[in-house]
Homo-oligomer: A and B are copies of this chain.
Amino acid sequence: MSLARTLATDDFRSELFERGLLIPTTVDGLYGRNEVFEGIVAAVDALIGRLSAADGAEIMRFPPVMTRQGFEASGYFKNFPHLSGTIHCFCGDDRDHRRALECAPEQGGWTSAQVASDVVLTPASCYPVYPIVAARGPLPAEGWLVDSSSYCFRREPSLDPARMQMFRQREQVCFGTPERIRAFQSHWMQRALAMFEQMRLPAATDLANDPFFGRPGELMANGQRSQRLKFEILLPVSDPDRPSACGSFNYHVQHFATAYGIHDAAGEVAHTGCAGFGLERIALALLRHHGLDPQDWPAAVRGVLWPAS
């Protein structure tokens, strides 16, 4: 990264802090949010809701924690070990507690007695959906559609405000035939591009090759590209030369349905896809492009985000 790029990223971050939009902590990528920032996130979230209101999706909202069982089935730790966050708890008695409190930092300190629990942090808001849909038995003949949202965790401390350790994702998750998933994927791509145009954000699409099915990557990545399984919509946020993925439109083929045991009405392994948006990143893109005070944004952009006011 060139010095100019670094400075641009640092300037944007400092401005966000100075305005109080993000509130720094002592950990990079972990921030509080003020009322203005939350108002933008809520407006973007509501806009996505209006776009999809007629789809008849089942609304599911999740806390930022999911079952370890569901996480294991996804293969996430196998593919993204460094991004995973597991939750550990204390199961000892009073004596163990005293020992933990007295444990020297170089021996692990007070966390030395923590043991892995049956819950983990959610890496993407669609992950808790699969075990729930699987547990209901075969899909209806026409398939199924879920609208999910949660805070998500990815362990990648960064000075780039667009790369947070905790951020919100709003996703649509589609279950059904390959035809349905392909149509869903392409419909959401078009919707998202139109949405970013309405927000006057310079969106670009990219056929992504990051290996979301598996890490031992090249072959799979090439397969993904040629099969057009993963598209992203990129917006310049912190660094004009390195746009950030703000939307992701994926056809999983039978990867998740096999992992969780999701079957169609005929008993065949189903196909799945998802269309997800990073709410903080879109809020940051708006702030970057239209200025740090939403009151000063173009009337057309404000009208799209706050239609009633």
> A116-124, A205-213, A245-253: which lies at the B interface?
A116-124
Tell me if B119 and A27 are in contact (CB < 8 A): yes
Q: Mark A1-45, 1 if CB is under 8 A from B, else 0.
A: 000000000000000000000010111001111110110000000
Interface residues on chain A, number (Cβ under 8 Å)? 60
> A86-94, A232-240, A262-270, A285-293: which lies at the B interface?
A86-94
User: Cβ of A304 < 8 Å from any Cβ of B?
Assistant: no
Tell me if A90 and B81 are in contact (CB < 8 A): yes
Q: Can you name the residue of chain B whose Cβ is closest to the Cβ of A92? A: B81
Q: Mark A86-129, 1 if CB is under 8 A from B, else 0.
A: 11111110000100110000001111001011110100000010
Shortest beta-carbon distance from A262 to chain B in Å: 16
C-alpha gap A272/B38 in the complex (Å):
26
SS class, residues of chain A in contact with chain B: mixed
Shortest beta-carbon distance from A17 to chain B in Å: 11
Tell me if B165 and A119 are in contact (CB < 8 A): yes
Tell me if B90 and A88 are in contact (CB < 8 A): no
Chain B residues within 8 Å of A151, by CB: 63-64, 151
Chain A contacts with B in 120-174, Cβ cutoff 8 A: 121, 128, 131-132, 151, 153, 155, 165-167
User: Cβ of A59 < 8 Å from any Cβ of B?
Assistant: yes
User: Cβ of A306 < 8 Å from any Cβ of B?
Assistant: no
Tell me if A82 and B90 are in contact (CB < 8 A): yes
Tell me if B108 and A116 are in contact (CB < 8 A): yes
Ordered by A's residue number, 7 sampled pairs between the chains whose C-beta atoms are within 8 Å are A32-B62, A33-B60, A34-B61, A63-B64, A82-B91, A85-B89, A108-B116
